[in-house]
Amino acid sequence: MAQRLGRECEVQTISWDDFTKVELRVGRIVSAAPFPEARKPAYLLQVDFGEGIGMKKSSAQITHLYRPEELEGKLVVAVVNFPPKQIGPVKSECLVTGFHTVSGEVALCIPDKPVPLGTKML
């Protein structure tokens, strides 16, 4: 069962149990560096999710809207329970979330207020 939104966006219905399996957590980017080995322009991020989860690596295609120095210290929302994915020579350990802008760049999904590291999205 799906609902149509606009001309090109279809929303698929999932169960509450499906949603609760996705571990969307708040982390802080502690470092961001160019990732030239990636096929598309990307940064290699180190994200701290606090005690219990710790540090995870992520490849993020956010080079059009962000510079590495402005990413450091930024809170982000990421999926932390996907299996690691090999991207070039690096295993990406989490998926930092974002949205495509009208022109196709990726804008990060970020909390607008301070949130403790590792907090799970409700």
Taking the C-alpha atoms of residue 9 and residue 82, their distance in angstroms, rounded to an integer, is 24
Q: Which CATH number does 23-108 carry?
A: 2.40.50.140
Residue 8, pLDDT score: 65
**Three-state SS at 20:** helix
Taking the C-alpha atoms of residue 24 and residue 43, their distance in angstroms, rounded to an integer, is 20
Cβ neighbours for 51, distance < 8 A, ≥ 6 positions apart = 118
Residue 2, pLDDT score: 44
The pLDDT tens digits along the chain (122 residues) read 444 444 567 889 999 999 999 999 999 999 999 999 999 999 999 999 999 999 999 999 999 999 999 999 999 999 999 999 999 999 999 999 999 999 999 999 999 999 999 999 98
- Provide the greatest CA pair distance for the chain: 44
Residue 122, pLDDT score: 84
Going from N- to C-terminal start, the domains of the chain cover 23-108
